[in-house]
Structure 1
Amino acid sequence: MRDIVDDLLRVWHSGRIGAMATLVRTFGPAPMPIGSAMLVDPDGRVFGSVSDGCYESAIYDAAIHSARSGRKELQRFDPNTGMDSADCGTIDVFVEPFSRNDFPEFPAVAQDLAGFKPVTVFTVVWHSDPTVIGQHLVTDRRHNTELVALPESDVFCCSFAAAPRLIIFGANAFAAALCVQGRQLGYRVTVCDARQRFAADQSFPGAEVIVDWPHRYLEAQAAAGLIDYRTALVTVTQDPKFEIPLLTSALQLPEFGYLGALGVGPAHDQRLAALHSEGFDTDTLTRLYTPAGLDLGASTPMETAVAIAAEILAVRARTPSHHTGPFPALT
C-alpha cells in the first residue's frame, strides 16, 4: 500500500469509488510480498500490483466487480482461474471497494506513512456476519503482516514500520542520484552538508536537507535514539576534514545498517590510513564498506547510486529482524 498511497488518496478525496485488492496469503514461494496492494481507480486505471503477471486479468475483473457491486470478498486464485494462470501458484486476495465511505480511516493511515510513523491496518476479510467483512482498525501497535484466523473471523494485519533512514553526507551530484534510489527503496532520505551554498533544498527533492557538520549531526541523531539497525549511512564527500570525523563517530556507534564511503585510489588509501591512526583495527574497519557500492562497473553518479543501493540491499538482507506485537481486539 505504501507505494500507491498517493493514488489511493486521490481516489479517496475525489468522492468516487474505486477498488483495492490486497495480497493476504500465498501458498509456496511468491514474487510479491504479503500486503502488496493494487488499486483500480474509478476510471479503470491500475496502480500497484499483487502478482508478477499471474491472475492480473482475473484480479482486475474482481476489483471492477467489487467497485460496482460493493461486495467485499476474500478470493482464491489458483492455476484453474484463467488464461494467464497456467504456471502460477495459489494466492488469496481480499478485494474491496475503495472510497471515503468504505475506508473512512484511510487519511490517518496516509498521514502516518507520510510522517514516517509506524501504523498497522487490521481488516476483517472473513466473518460469520457478512456485514462485518471489510471493517478496518488503524493502530500504531506493531504486528506481523499476516492473515490471522480467529474463531469467527479472519483478520488481515498489514503493518508498516517507520521508514528506514538513509543519511547521505555531502551535497553533490552523487548525493542527488542516491536520493532517487533511496526514495524508490522506501527510505526516508536526509542529506547533510556543512556548506550552505551546496545544501539547497531544490537540489534534493523529497529529501530532508540539513546544514551542519556531518559528525556533529550524526552524533546528535544517535544521542536522540534515531540511528538503528536499519539506518544506512553514506558519505559521498572525499574531503578528509568532513569525512574522517564522520567515520570516526560512525564506527563508534553500537549499531547501524550500513556504512559506506565513496572514493577509490588515493582517497581510499588515505581514508584507511587516517582511520588506522585514529585507533581502529582491521576488524572494526570491516563495518565500513569502502569503496561504497557493488562492483558493477559504475562511473556516472546515477550508476554509482545504483551500485550503492544494491550493496545496501545485500547487506540489509543479511540483517536479522524480529519485530512482533500483540494483537488488538477488533470492536
Structure 2
Amino acid sequence: MLDIAEELHRWVEQGRDFAVATVVAVGGSAPRQPGAALAVDSEGTAIGSVSGGCVEGAVYDLCRQALEDGRSLLERFGYSDDDAFAVGLTCGGIIDILVTPVRADSAGRAAFGAALAAAAGGEAVALARVSEGPGELMGRALLVRSEGPHEGGLGGHPELDRTVAAETRAMLDAGRTGTLEIGLGTAPTEGASEDGAWQGGRLCGEPLKLLVESSVPAPRMIVFGAIDFAAALVRIGKFLGYHVTVCDARPVFATEARFPEADTIVVDWPHRYLAAESEAGAVDGRTVLCVLTHDAKFDVPLLETALRLPVAYVGAMGSRRTHEDRNKRLREVGVSELELARLRSPIGLDLGARSPQETALSIAAEIVANRRGGSGVALTGAHTPIHHDRTAAVVKRIGSVA
C-alpha cells in the first residue's frame, strides 16, 4: 500500500473513503511482490495494481464489497486452466490479497493516514496490519517510525502492540516488507481467557499474522564524472527510483544546465566527497556508486575509499587496458584482492552498447541484476527463474512463553 502513498495521502486529505487491497504473500512466478496494492474509493476510482492485470477485476469487486460492509478479508488467487472463465493468474503463481476498508469510521483510519503522510513525505515508516487471526483484529493497523512511540493499536492489547512494534521496527531498519507471525503457542497461559486475549507472550486461541510494509527514503546513486554518459545514467537512475547525485571536481562540467534531472550536483574531489558522505552516514547497503571518470588521479583515491564501504554496487568505466592499469594502481595503494573482487569493471553488461543511452542501459541492467540476483543471460532458452528470490519477504516468528 505504501507504494502508492502519494495518491492515497491525497485521498485521505480529501476525506475520501476507500478500500485497499494489498499483496500479503506470493508463491511461484507471481507478477507483484508483497506490498503491491490496488485501492478503490467510494466513487469507484481505482489506482495501483496487484497482479499486472490478471485478477484486477475480481480484486476491484472485493474492494467495493469491503467498502460496503466495512470488513477486512483475505483472499487467495492461483492459477486456473480448467475453467476458461475462472479468475486466476496466467503466470502460474499464487498471491494472497488482504483487503482493508479505510472509511471515516474505521478504527485504523488515523494510523493509515499518518503512515501515508509519512511515506509520501519521504520519511522512514512501517505499517503492520493483521492479515490472519481473530475476526475482530483483521485489518487492524499499527504505525511504527524509526524513532518515537508507535501509533494505532491492535485491539486493546498493549503488550501485543509493544511486541509487534519492536519486530516491525527491526524490519523497518532493514527496509523489509514481509510477513510477521506471532503467538504460535498451542495452549493458553494459566488464567488466560479463550477469546484471543494477549497473555503471557502469546495470543491465546490462534496465531496471528501481520503484513509489515516498510517505506524508506529512495536509495542513492552517486555518479562520479560529469560527462555525457553520466547525463544518460542520471535519467535512467531516476527512472529506477534512485536519488541521484552527480559529483565532479570540475565546476565547468558539473552544472544544473548539463544535469537538470539530478537531485544533487556536487563540485568536489570525488574521494573527498564520498569519504565525507560515509562519515555522515549518508551511504548505506542500498547505495550504488558509478565511477565514470576513467582518470587515474580521480579513480584510484575514489575506488580505494569506495571498495571499503558497505555499499550495494561499485562500478567503474574504462577499457580492459584501463581496468588492468587501474587494478595495478589500486594494489599499490593497499587495496586487497577481496576488495578488488567487489569492483564491476568494465562497468555494465555486454549489450554491445555504443551510445551514452545504450551504455546507461547496460550499467542499469547490471545494477538491477546485482540487486535482484539475476544472471544477466537471455531468458530465451535459459532454465533460470524469471523472478529471483533475493529480496523475498522475511517471515519472523516469536515463540510463545511457556
TM-score > 0.5, shorter chain as reference: yes
Task: Specify the SS of the correspondent of 1:157.
Answer: strand
Task: Specify the SS of the correspondent of 2:346.
Answer: coil
- Give the deviation of 1:261 after TM superposition: 1.1
Q: Does 1:263 align with 2:318?
A: yes
- Give the deviation of 1:242 after TM superposition: 2.7
User: Which residue does 2:97 correspond to in 1?
Assistant: 93
Change (3 A) 1:108 1:210: farther
Task: Specify the SS of the correspondent of 2:31.
Answer: coil
Q: Structure 2, unaligned stretches of length 5 or more? A: 146-168, 184-202, 375-389
Task: Specify the SS of the correspondent of 2:343.
Answer: coil
CA distance in structure 2 between the partners assigned to 1:240 and 1:9 by the alignment: 48
CA distance in structure 1 between the partners assigned to 2:102 and 2:397 by the alignment: 28
CA distance in structure 2 between the partners assigned to 1:179 and 1:100 by the alignment: 42
Deviations 1:87-125 (A, max 9, x none): 444432111234676533345434544565532211123
- Give the deviation of 1:24 after TM superposition: 1.0
Deviates more, 1:25-34 or 1:296-305: 25-34
AA of the residue aligned to 1:22: T
- Give the deviation of 1:311 after TM superposition: 1.1
User: Which residue does 1:50 correspond to in 2?
Assistant: 50
Q: Does 1:238 align with 2:294?
A: yes
- Give the deviation of 1:21 after TM superposition: 0.8
CA distance in structure 2 between the partners assigned to 1:101 and 1:184 by the alignment: 38
AA of the residue aligned to 2:99: V
Q: Does 1:209 align with 2:296?
A: no
AA of the residue aligned to 2:96: D
- Give the deviation of 1:283 after TM superposition: 5.1
User: Which residue does 1:66 correspond to in 2?
Assistant: 66
**What does 1:1-331 align with in structure 2 at a 5 Å threshold?**
1-41=1-41, 44-79=44-79, 83-85=86-88, 87=90, 88-98=92-102, 102=106, 103-110=109-116, 112-113=118-119, 117-130=123-136, 132-140=137-145, 141-143=169-171, 145-148=178-181, 150=183, 151=203, 153-161=208-216, 163-201=218-256, 203-205=259-261, 207-251=263-307, 253-264=308-319, 267-268=322-323, 270-280=325-335, 284-318=339-373
Contact in 1 for aligned 2:181/2:395 (Cα 8 Å): no
- Give the deviation of 1:235 after TM superposition: 1.4
User: Which residue does 2:153 correspond to in 1?
Assistant: none
Q: Structure 1, unaligned stretches of length 5 or more? A: none
Change (3 A) 1:205 1:39: farther
Task: Specify the SS of the correspondent of 1:57.
Answer: helix
AA of the residue aligned to 1:306: L
- State how many pairs are aligned: 325
Change (3 A) 1:273 1:120: same
Change (3 A) 1:116 1:240: farther
CA distance in structure 1 between the partners assigned to 2:234 and 2:43 by the alignment: 33
Contact in 2 for aligned 1:11/1:99 (Cα 8 Å): no
Q: TM-score, normalised by structure 1?
A: 0.81
- Give the deviation of 1:219 after TM superposition: 0.7
CA distance in structure 1 between the partners assigned to 2:291 and 2:104 by the alignment: 44
CA distance in structure 1 between the partners assigned to 2:113 and 2:261 by the alignment: 23
- Structure showing greater radius of gyration is 2
Q: TM-score, normalised by structure 2?
A: 0.68
AA of the residue aligned to 1:72: S
Contact in 2 for aligned 1:40/1:60 (Cα 8 Å): yes
Deviations 1:44-95 (A, max 9, x none): 4543322243322211221233334433222233456953427444432111
Root-mean-square deviation (CA), in Å? 3.5
